[in-house]
Amino acid sequence: MLYELIQQFDRIASQLLSAVGREDEEQISRLDAQLQMIMLQIFHIQARSRSDISIQIGFFNRLALRNCEDCGSVGRYTKMMTSLFDRYMDFGAELKKTRSVSELDMLPEGYDPSLHELVLESVPERVAVIGLDYRYLYCNKRNADFHNKRPSDFIGSHLLDMISAERYQVRAKPRLDQCFGGARLAYGYEAADFNGRLFAINCRMSPLAGKDGNVAGAVLVLSMQPAFAAAT
């Protein structure tokens, strides 16, 4: 069902591009309405497997990247991704209960394999989830690789353990505070990885809603490219 809906969405999106090229306003309006309906169907599907969760979240991540120049669209798709993150946290916890004791004993302390494997391993960007105490709730492998660390090194660590005090006070904390207040933000900056390679980074922050509906943290999605490429 999920795969078929995504195929249908891509097919209609292709037809919409053709209609835009022909400046067929009636066709554009009709196809756009169909796309919105299919997108909502995809969002409301309750995935029951790891692969379906990755496909579902990857679909909205792809839409956010495709519309990266439209802040409104990016905000909407990021909000839908955030809702999916929250939806599948409980699902991941249930799967974690099914793991053997020996499997869990082999994992680093503080590492939640269900959240890592089921929710964010498929996205191409660096991703982190920061709690209201400015400590990492989650870090995907791509973000950990940027710092030459393991994802488990981040869990429970304060931002100050990973970035300089100046970056924390001037850039990260003020924006996180806005996000914790319900704001969605997007901003750019330059930073070097552990090898000293400089990258132009676009950071998108979205509030993470807890089970009670209140903000429980912030989801950070960081896309990047070499700084010299961004300047050309």
Would 7 be classed as within a structural domain?
Answer: yes
Q: Is residue 184 part of a domain?
A: yes
- The predicted pLDDT at position 177 comes to 95
Q: Under a CB-based contact definition with an 8 Å cutoff, are residues 215 and 180 in contact? A: yes
Instruction: Name the CA dihedral angle for 145, 161, 131, 221, rounded to a multiple of 10 degrees.
Output: -30
Structural domain containing residue 188: 124-231
Here the tokens at position 191 are 């930073």
Tally of structural domains, the chain: 2
Q: Is residue 100 part of a domain?
A: no
Q: Are 60 and 47 in contact (CB under 8 A)?
A: no
- Average confidence (pLDDT) per 10 residues, the chain, 232 residues: 88 89 89 91 83 79 73 73 71 46 40 49 78 87 89 86 89 94 91 89 86 82 75 44
Same structural domain, 134 and 224: yes
Co-location of 141 and 58 in the same domain: no
Nearest to 128 by CA among 109, 154, 110, 108: 154
Same domain, 137 and 224: yes
Check residue 231 and give its pLDDT.
Answer: 45
Q: Which residues of 216-230 are buried (b: 16+ CB within 10 A; e: fewer)?
A: bbbbbbbbbeeeeee
- Please give the pLDDT value at position 123: 65
Looking at the fold, whether 83 and 169 belong to one and the same domain comes out as no
CATH at residue 179: 3.30.450.20
- Has residue 197 been placed in a domain? yes
pLDDT of amino acid 224: 86
Residues 68 and 131 in one domain: no
Do 82 and 143 reside in the same domain of the chain?
no
Whether 79 and 23 map to the same domain: the answer is yes
